Structure 1
Amino acid sequence: MKKNIINKIAFLLSITCIITASSCNKEYINPSAASTPSVTSSADALMNLAAGLQRRFTIGRQSPLYNAPVGGMYAVYGLRTLNVGNTAEAELEAGKGAVTQANSIVTQLWSQCLFTKTEAETILNNLGVAADPGDRVGLKAYASIFYALSMGTLCQFFEKIPLNSENNAAFSNRIDVMQKVISVLESADADLTATSPSTKFINRIPPGINIPNTIKALLARYYNIHSMMTGTYNTASGNKAITFATAASQSIKSEFRFTTTTTNPLGEWNATVNVFGAIDSTLGLRNGLAPVPAASDPRIGFYISRTGPTTFPLKAFALNVTAVYPVYLPGEMSLIIAENQARQNSFAASKTALDAVLTKTTDIFGVNANQPAYGGPLTQADLLREIYRQRRLEMFLSGQELEDSRRFGRPAPNTPGEERNRNFYPYPQIERDNNVNTPADPAI
């Protein structure tokens, strides 16, 4: 996206800050709309900007927290649009050529991730103004989390992404973008081993995110994706994914929290019961992947209401406007370990990690499978099929569904038994209008 477009929007938003100046003595500035000089002048100014990162990423129907889970689940036939007046959702449900470059979900996912990335970069590029080591480490780690979430999300939905914020920015391939994401996170992780974020910094950001564990969990997630990006499994990346997934705590929550004024966007739109619901009582699993009967797996009842026969409202992390949303789930970490062990033909180790999910009854978020241990063949193909199945059941509405479908080689669009309605989303028209380097849209 053009840098000047971002700056113009930020300037228009910043006008709202003027209103508060005469109404009270306390300065009240929208940190995400402040001008560049004001947010880079001091550690306190950077903390104001940092405090706005979560709001940018999670609040409102335009946020990535709405558009990534929705875009991911529609792409794998997991959601049904309940009111065709919701045009953007209806297009994603139809998929393939029905998804236009003007689709608002695709457009907002693209633009808001790039906005979040730009604001995170502003903090990372100006850490020198923070004299206190604890302030500096806190700023770096927290900004790295949102840099990674924004760019890592784009990598899962788009074939190429601009790494730099500039006029007519060049597009980079997903491998280069993911390597940048990993390097940012690894630098933050290294700093956290020596210095903890200051109490002052922790008190300035929204509560809920455990910074050290989130860094490790995101490193596990993105190394896991990176391991298959070339089309051939990268053992070095897979080993890193295992290492960081093992290090991320499964007993400490890291979550986005909401209130009645700063609302969960999935819960807000789910509460209207006229936008979307699960497509069926098995979360849209096809080709023999669904539990039989569906009621045998309590995670389905955890995630959706079986009111049927045509509506299956969402529950759990989309239940209402104040429902928390996990930054990562403990089960995700176990499944990352299981996947990479399977790809390395360490089948016993893969089964051990897989069983940790299947038999789980004490999940900190309540995502419990309570199923028998895996009893299928100990082959790579069989284990990976079951791991994919468990990711769909364990991580419903995580936003990782489209990437998972590609990485596990599930049936592609226009092939027998297709399980996704496209491979990547088209580039938004707003980008094409403002960047002459926007590539041609990828094949469906």
Structure 2
Amino acid sequence: MAVDFSPEPSVAELAQRTSAFVRDVVLPEEQQYAGVAAAGGDAMRERLQSAAREAGLFAPHVGPEFGGLGLDMRGRALVFEEAGWSLFGPLALNVAAPDEGNMHLLERVASAAQKERYLRPLASGEVRSCFAMTEPAPGAGSDPAALTTRAVRVPGGWRIDGRKWFITGADGAAFTICFARTTGEPGDRGGATMFLVDADNPGLKVVRHINTLDEALYGGHCEVVFDNCVVPDEAVLGEVDEGFAYAQVRLGPARMTHCMRWLGIARRAQAIAVERAAERRLFGSRLGELGMVQGMIADSEIDIAAARALTLQACWELDHDRSAGQSTGIAKAFTAEAVWRVVDRSLQICGSLGVSGDVLLSRFLREVRPFRIYDGPTETHKWAIAKRAVGRQVRAMEGRA
């Protein structure tokens, strides 16, 4: 089967309109305010989403039956990258984490009734959501099997007890998708279930905001407690004990959409650096005529192109229902490091201007640094990539024996 990364004309046109919208409508908001909270939080989000809706750009990843444009993963790559040119762009199009990943999961796994109750208002921008999987040590983190939050059967439903940590968007979310152990013990590779928990459940409490390096995601990164949190049977998302399988439905595509969005910021940082290199004169020539600066610019061009190609390859595999664990892991590990390198080089090229607030490179640097940890640290992905490669060789050798 041929691999074709050429976008459909309609997708290319949508990406062009997204690019213009982000530059004309979103950038002024980003440049005026230091972060989401300073810009008004949900009020800013709703204002920008209304503008995106009027422009015909809203929810490009969701099926038309839920008000979206129904793009496949390759189509999303083009559009999400253009949205990512601004830190506020994904918020405007309703393609920011964690909502975008939750919409994908709900569309794939939820029952018809759950889609009407949770997916439709989420896709329309009426509400926000969060995904509660990560726990304080020694609980689930890079190793989801360490899951300690537990759900037990009670008459008419389930009782969830546990503590979650670093739950993005929890403050102000209308509901959470909670990942809890229903069978087995921490360390077991199975036995998890996903539950839809409404924010007004008295057993669900947002304990605190965690102070973090990044500030571009609304609702913060929060610590959340489930304490005698009782939910009905219809709160189970999918099937009982199938949570680990459903996590892969969400996490692979979500890692790629993170790559898409951060590629937009990498391109923007590179554009700032190249403009500075072309206009700044010192030592008798343009900055961009100095060999060391040329090398940095070339390395960033290579990083951006390679990250985009790896992301598109993984998206093609996801679109064709292939087992994309290796390709998504490779793309995520490479892109997270590449985006950091591009932004860091861009700041270095711009010197004191890059460190200043007159351009946003220092802010970009703070925002992209956590991506090397979020959705799996680079080291965890490399371990898994190597494990798969060695496993293939072992199976081949045993087959020849």
Question: Going by fraction, where is strand more abundant, 1 or 2?
Answer: 2
Higher relative contact order (CA 8 A, sep 6+): 1
Q: State the TM-score, normalized to the length of structure 2.
A: 0.32
TM-score norm. by structure 1 comes to 0.29
